Structure 1
Amino acid sequence: MLLNSLNFIFAFLPVVLILFYVVPGKWKNVVLALSSIFFYAWGEPVYVVLMLFSAVLHYMMGIDIGRKRKRNQSAVPSLVFVVVIDVFILGFFKYYGFLSGAVNEWLGTGFSTSALSLPIGLSFYSFKNLSYIIDVYKKKCEPERDPIAFLAYASLFACMSAGPIVRYADIREDLYTHNVYMSRLGEGARRFILGLAKKVLLADQLSMMISQIQDAGTPMSMMTAWIYLFAYTMQIFFDFSGYSDMAIGVGKMLGFDFQENFDYPYIAKSVTEFWRRWHMSLSSWFRDYVYIPLGGNRVSVPGHLRNILIVWCLTGIWHGGTFNFPLWGLYYGVILIFEKYVWKNLLSRLPGWAANLYTMLLVMFGWLIFMNSSLDAVGKILGALLGFGASSFIDLTAGYYLKTGFLLFAVCILSARPVLKKFSERFVESSAITTVVVYLILFLLSIGGLVFNSYQPFLYMQF
């Protein structure tokens, strides 16, 4: 089931909210756990077993590690065991096709190279559960002994499919207090509608444009190539941030405060700042559980360079099992090293608009690597962007999309910056009536988009 499906919006969510608000406090986690299992089984009836296995494994090993820590016994074997299991499951499902193909090529074997169907949300709930185990090991939180409460955390449907990566320590109190009231319900509903509008009214429209350009199957003009890359740059932001908004909104309706996942990343004035603003739950996860344990920046310069490259290679590998993803990760690792050690002072002296332009160009080229598993395709589009191999500077296709997509592009640019939020806070949300009317219009437009264009899966569900 998808958060942007009519089944979820008009059937699943209302029923869950009613049950959640009606039942006594001690039964609320039961409602959350059962509804989350149903939510996951709706789309993954087989892989729900894998999700439950992960929850049971981390629950039991959390208690085991907590017991050993209290007895001053070494919990390292237990921690290593869980990490190995998690890495094996992730590697098996995400990289089987890639690794079996490599083995066949090197050893002449005949393993099937067909990629396995990736369980929805596998990377997200694996990292979420792993953060719990590591925090218990480091004594940052006590092991959860209530199996229902832990299952509610491990399977929480709001952030199951595409994050944000919610840490147990951040919501443990919420699992027991369940502070829900009308103002929080309203705040959650507004956040959900905003995310739905980002997805349906912006990301999905950009997706159709991208598909049409791809289906044309002819050499792109230079302008068409830039429109194509700009559209993807905006699509992935509004698609992913839209999901995060919806997940955070549903969380608020259920009494949870999830970590923010985006903070206007496209206004960043360096790539380093961009990654402080983009997918913040993943960036902070790698910082806290990989980068800092490796020594962070408290090591020699060669050690620091090593740590950066390891983290960003792993970040790329986390996203997928094709060659472009680790390449994408290393691309950012190298840029961050240069920003840290080579042109840091130069960046600080650039005007704000120039620093932002520098950042956006590097980010857009990064998305070019991210979106294409074929390096040949990357080379052809990159050539067209720079004028090499392009059919012309501008053609009828580019003119058509500039004309028909002008308003969409303008709205995307404004929405990707704080200007609309500031306008909304000053003029729209200053009046309760105006707030209700504006969000009702956004909701109806979004539902209309779902009805007439059908809903599209979120991009990050494939990672």
Structure 2
Amino acid sequence: MVFSSLFFTFAFLPVTLILYYSLGGSFIPRTARPWILGLYLRNIVLLAASLFFYAWGEPAYVILMCISIMINYCIGYFLDKNSTSRQKQKLFLIISLVFNLGCLAYFKYFGMLISTITTVSGWNLNAAAPALPIGISFYTFQALSYVIDLYRGKIKSQKSPILFALYISMFPQLVAGPIVNYADIESQLVDRRMNLRKFSSGLRRFLCGLAKKVLLANNIGLLWSEVKAMPGTEISVLMAWAGIIAFTLQIYFDFSGYSDMAIGLGKMFGFHFKENFKYPYVSQSISEFWRRWHISLGSWFKEYVYIPLGGNREGKWKLLRNILIVWFLTGLWHGASWNFVIWGLYFGTLILIERLFLHKRMKRWPKAVRIIYSLLLVVIGWVFFEFTNLTDALNYLGILLGAGDNVLIDVQTIAKLEQYTVLYLICIIAATPLPKKLALSLIRIQCNIYKIAANVYYCILMFFLTAYMVGSTYNPFIYFRF
């Protein structure tokens, strides 16, 4: 089930919200009803809805997720019970790491391992790779953060299996993030306030995310699909740049749109999730880009890999090692293919170069130059991300750099640019903070006319979104495959 579908928007979500609020009595003061019982019922409704949501697309693998929930809950219980024995705690931590990473390795990387062995050795291994459970990379990292933080003594174990299951399986962010650490949501599981203002704010955020996905990402992605399907000899240099920039915009609006929807849905159910994107394409360095892009993943690797390895505290050689390990794993996390590893190491190398050589020099560059520098390197990086075949990626990169016999521009390129010019401009402006700044300035205008206009805007937006979803085919999010 995807958020950008009629079934989710007009069936699953409304039914879930009606059950959630009618059983819990959410919009009344805590003293008017048994508030704890109401919250308990709401949590059960949300857990049941989350399991149904996942089972809709993964009927078999919902069992795997439930097993993961049960095992990690039990490990958390034993970690807490043996708090005075560091040796026993270490044993349970190792069990958790072996189980969680083992499941992730088998379901996500078994096919990659077999393919690599076959290519390198020439052996013909007839071993079929299992289907990839949707969201396994996300809920596995959440389970690991819970166990590791318990081991470190940062949190207390969750005594309720229902609340722990809800933390792992909550449908707004289950299949494509943001990755939510247990420490950030622990108190909200047992004490959260829901009101009409928070609900309406969440609904608006959801609609904005849905618009990013179906109106911007899907449409600008059509240009990239057309360019990618063309024979390499028929792509002009300008067409190649137009195509990869289209993908650059598509993946941003696709993934940030999902994150917006997840954050909006969380608000509608009383939860607060941290931001996952902060306008990464206006970054002035590659390091800044990765502080703005997929923030929850970067924070996870920093907290649970980079810092435990020593961070930047033990000299340049350890810094080099630590950054390359983190970015090797970051690339591998994104997909079971060596192009993702190359993509990760590409960014790790750029970050190292900036930290060791360019950082001070870049401060003297004009702001526009820093933004262009960062954006250019990011766009080139998306080539390695999108092409799973390294030869195809290098061939496409050669076209971008004018290394082949491809013409600079042709009639077909001019026609495509004319067709997509307006959409390009809308996407470029929407990828900057300008629309948000305009909206915030309008919000400060406390008058009825603005409030009416805002409500009319969201109603019209919902109309166009519905019309688009009626005429569209299945359009899963790009990050679903990770």
- Tell me which interval the TM-score lies in, with the shorter structure as reference length: over 0.9
Query: Which whole-Å CA distance do the structure 1 matches of 2:207 and 2:88 have between them?
Result: 48
Query: Does the alignment pair 1:306 with 2:321?
Result: yes
Query: Does the alignment pair 1:51 with 2:65?
Result: yes
Equivalent residue number for residue 78 of structure 1? 92
Equivalent residue number for residue 167 of structure 1? 181
Query: Does the alignment pair 1:214 with 2:228?
Result: yes
Q: Which of 125, 135, 143 lines up with 1:129 in the alignment?
A: 143
- How much has 1:106 moved relative to structure 2? 4.9
- How much has 1:116 moved relative to structure 2? 2.8
Deviates more, 1:45-54 or 1:394-403: 394-403
Equivalent residue number for residue 359 of structure 2? 344
Normalising by structure 1, what TM-score? 0.97
**SS of alignment partner, residue 334 of structure 1:** helix
- How much has 1:427 moved relative to structure 2? 2.8
Query: Does the alignment pair 1:458 with 2:458?
Result: no
Equivalent residue number for residue 50 of structure 2? 36
Note closer, same or farther for the CA distance 1:8–1:266 as it changes in structure 2 (3 Å cut).
same
Q: Which of 216, 238, 251 lines up with 1:223 in the alignment?
A: 238
Could you tell me which runs of 5 or more consecutive residues in structure 1 were left unpaired when the two chains were aligned: none
CA contact (8 A) 1:188 1:249 kept: yes
Note closer, same or farther for the CA distance 1:182–1:379 as it changes in structure 2 (3 Å cut).
same
CA contact (8 A) 1:428 1:434 kept: no
Equivalent residue number for residue 17 of structure 1? 17
Deviates more, 1:20-29 or 1:144-153: 20-29
Query: Does the alignment pair 1:440 with 2:459?
Result: yes
Alignment of 1:54-453 (within 5 A): 54-70=68-84, 74-106=88-120, 109-112=123-126, 114-219=128-233, 220-427=235-442, 430=445, 431-453=450-472
- How much has 1:107 moved relative to structure 2? 5.2
Query: Which whole-Å CA distance do the structure 1 matches of 2:384 and 2:283 have between them?
Result: 20
Query: Which whole-Å CA distance do the structure 1 matches of 2:130 and 2:208 have between them?
Result: 34
Deviates more, 1:65-74 or 1:289-298: 65-74
Note closer, same or farther for the CA distance 1:50–1:273 as it changes in structure 2 (3 Å cut).
same
CA contact (8 A) 2:232 2:396 kept: no
**SS of alignment partner, residue 349 of structure 1:** coil
**SS of alignment partner, residue 343 of structure 1:** helix
CA RMSD between the two structures: 1.4
CA contact (8 A) 1:97 1:112 kept: no
Residue 300 of structure 2 aligns with an amino acid whose one-letter code is W
Question: C-alpha offsets along residues 406-454 of structure 1, whole Å, 9 cap, x if unaligned?
Answer: 1111011111110111112223674221211122222221221111123
- How much has 1:97 moved relative to structure 2? 1.4
**SS of alignment partner, residue 328 of structure 1:** helix
Query: Which whole-Å CA distance do the structure 1 matches of 2:402 and 2:170 have between them?
Result: 48
Residue 453 of structure 1 aligns with an amino acid whose one-letter code is S
CA contact (8 A) 1:428 1:438 kept: no
Residue 3 of structure 1 aligns with an amino acid whose one-letter code is F
- How much has 1:108 moved relative to structure 2? 5.3
CA contact (8 A) 1:222 1:390 kept: no
**SS of alignment partner, residue 422 of structure 1:** helix
Question: C-alpha offsets along residues 177-232 of structure 1, whole Å, 9 cap, x if unaligned?
Answer: 23111001000000000000000000000122211222233521000000011000
Residue 358 of structure 1 aligns with an amino acid whose one-letter code is Y
Query: Which whole-Å CA distance do the structure 2 matches of 1:289 and 1:103 have between them?
Result: 30
Note closer, same or farther for the CA distance 1:9–1:168 as it changes in structure 2 (3 Å cut).
same
Normalising by structure 2, what TM-score? 0.94
CA contact (8 A) 2:76 2:158 kept: yes
Could you tell me which runs of 5 or more consecutive residues in structure 2 were left unpaired when the two chains were aligned: 24-37
**SS of alignment partner, residue 170 of structure 1:** helix
**SS of alignment partner, residue 146 of structure 2:** helix
Query: Which whole-Å CA distance do the structure 1 matches of 2:129 and 2:158 have between them?
Result: 36
**SS of alignment partner, residue 299 of structure 1:** coil
Residue 13 of structure 1 aligns with an amino acid whose one-letter code is L
Query: Which whole-Å CA distance do the structure 2 matches of 1:232 and 1:117 have between them?
Result: 26
Question: C-alpha offsets along residues 65-106 of structure 1, whole Å, 9 cap, x if unaligned?
Answer: 111114555411110111111111111111111211233345
Note closer, same or farther for the CA distance 1:104–1:226 as it changes in structure 2 (3 Å cut).
closer
Note closer, same or farther for the CA distance 1:390–1:240 as it changes in structure 2 (3 Å cut).
farther
Query: Which whole-Å CA distance do the structure 1 matches of 2:394 and 2:85 have between them?
Result: 58
CA contact (8 A) 1:316 1:326 kept: yes
Query: Which whole-Å CA distance do the structure 1 matches of 2:284 and 2:187 have between them?
Result: 37
CA contact (8 A) 2:331 2:344 kept: yes
